[in-house]
Structure 1
Amino acid sequence: MGLYEIAVIFLAAFIYGVAGFAFALLAVPLLSFAWPLKHIVPLVALLATSLNGLMLFKLRKSFAFKRVMPLLLGGLPGVLVGAYFLRHYDNAFLRVILGLVLVLYGLWGLKNPKRPFIIGDNWGYLFGFLAGFLGGALNTPGPPVIIYLTLKDWGKDEIKSTLQGFFFLLAIFVIFSHWRMGLITPEILKNYLIAFPVILIGLFSGHRLYGRLSLKVYQKILYGLLVIMGLLSFPWKIGG
């Protein structure tokens, strides 16, 4: 693992510490310039699980498992489908999906739409499946879940704790699926051990800065960067 990879992981963990999400959304496209997705996705899954576990512990008083159940039950089969895509399709196809997810998610965030209506819990199965698919294929389960939660009549702590709970539980299943398919190799485990102190420093540094910055303004900047990185993720040179 070189300095570029360490810097990317630190930056993604730092932003996660500030915003509470977007670790994989930032780490995956930036690391894809140096590593193939078959190496990046399992590694980021291991690192993201560690971050989610730490954040969930911090928000444990606001967490309710019943809020996560529809998302989780829909997400588990989605992970299997996504992991299948990761193993059997080449990087170009997966990067197109990744680019679309980042661009659409970033534009949605920049628009900052108001909640048009409130949806029931049963919608969680569909959004959970979509999140599971993206988690298994690209380790980016966030966008469907975040959209789902913006359409729920819940408070800030309830939304954030549900995010962390779902991400943590889904990530465990993602890791298991990757392990069963032989995607978690000794090299990935070695890089995980190297990167773990880096994500801890990034997480606590970002959390410390969180109280000093306007999260709303920072999220606007983040969404704009996601659009740019999504465009860069497309395999523009295919066939050239």
Structure 2
Amino acid sequence: MSVNLIVLVILAVFIGALSRATFGFGEAVVSMPLLALLSVDLHTSIALIGLVGLTVALFTVVSEWRHADRQALLRLVIGALAGIPVGIVLVVKLPDTLITIALGVFLILYGSYSFGKSLLQHTTTSERLKAKFWSWPVGFVSGVLGSAYNTHGVPVVVYGTLRRWEPKRFRGTLQAHFLITGIFIVAGQALGGLWSKDVFILYGYSFPTVILATWLGMFIQRCIPNEKFIRYVFLLLTLLGAILLFTSI
């Protein structure tokens, strides 16, 4: 493993971790395509980003746990645990390109539509998906996508924007959800044979920059006005959708 490759991997991990610490999501969709461009083995990339995501969640949840919507969190986690084994089966039965393209198109349409709507209305709209029932299927889909494609954040992010969670509740609930489900997903990756010597070497080299990205992201998010936070989330969703679509085709 060359020094240049290690430096570029660290940079890719840093960018993803910074997105995660700032907005509460995005590290897998940002870092995975970058690692693919570096010709890093897919299993190594999945396991590395799984560990990085768990690390960021561990550091951020300490300060944001008190803001989490704990009732919704419980339902999301239970749903995710039910979806994790389904995702393992899904990744074997369906081509990942098909799911990735569909997910990318959805994020572009949802993110751009919601961003445009927020600009026209000049204010956030009222809460939708008020029924508690919706957190169960959202959690289930999160578990499916997490175990199969490492994108368990997308359904929860969409759910949070539809519920119109304030920024602190948005990030707190997401980070707590990612921490709990991430433990099971990382454990599943370990049992599935995805861990290797290269994973721990790259994780060890990346760890200091993950800490830096976490600190910097928490600083940046404090500078974002609450009324503009949701718009930035919609923009990021659109960008992540474009990244998924571009890397798939």
For residue 207 of structure 1, what is the aligned residue in structure 2? 218
Which segment is superposed worse, 145-154 or 130-139? 145-154
Q: Kindly indicate whether residue 14 of structure 2 is the aligned counterpart of residue 16 of structure 1.
A: no
Q: Kindly indicate whether residue 106 of structure 2 is the aligned counterpart of residue 98 of structure 1.
A: no
Tell me the CA shift for residue 156 of structure 1: 3.6
Counterparts of residues 40-59 of structure 1 (less than 5 Å): 40-59=45-64
Q: Specify the SS of the correspondent of 2:163.
A: coil
Gaps of 5+ in 1: none
Tell me the CA shift for residue 140 of structure 1: 0.8
Residues 103 and 227 of structure 1 are in contact (CA less than 8 Å); yes or no, is this contact kept in structure 2?
Answer: yes
**Aligned partners of 1:188, 1:130: CA distance in 2, in Å?**
27
Check 1:206–1:156 CA distance in 2 against 1; reply closer, same or farther (3 A cut): closer
TM-score for both structures, normalised by structure 2: 0.81
Q: Kindly indicate whether residue 65 of structure 2 is the aligned counterpart of residue 60 of structure 1.
A: yes
Tell me the CA shift for residue 63 of structure 1: 3.0
Question: Aligned to 2:141, which of 119, 130, 143?
Answer: 130
Question: Aligned to 2:113, which of 108, 111, 114?
Answer: 111
Question: Aligned to 1:72, which of 59, 77, 94?
Answer: 77
Gaps of 5+ in 2: 118-124
Tell me the CA shift for residue 213 of structure 1: 5.4
Check 1:32–1:81 CA distance in 2 against 1; reply closer, same or farther (3 A cut): farther
**Aligned partners of 1:147, 1:233: CA distance in 2, in Å?**
22
Q: Which has the higher helix share?
A: 2
**Aligned partners of 1:211, 1:66: CA distance in 2, in Å?**
25
**Aligned partners of 2:98, 2:36: CA distance in 1, in Å?**
12
For residue 81 of structure 1, what is the aligned residue in structure 2? 86
**Aligned partners of 2:99, 2:42: CA distance in 1, in Å?**
12
Q: Kindly indicate whether residue 187 of structure 2 is the aligned counterpart of residue 176 of structure 1.
A: yes
Residues 142 and 154 of structure 2 are in contact (CA less than 8 Å); yes or no, is this contact kept in structure 1?
Answer: yes
TM-score for both structures, normalised by structure 1: 0.84
**Aligned partners of 1:121, 1:23: CA distance in 2, in Å?**
28
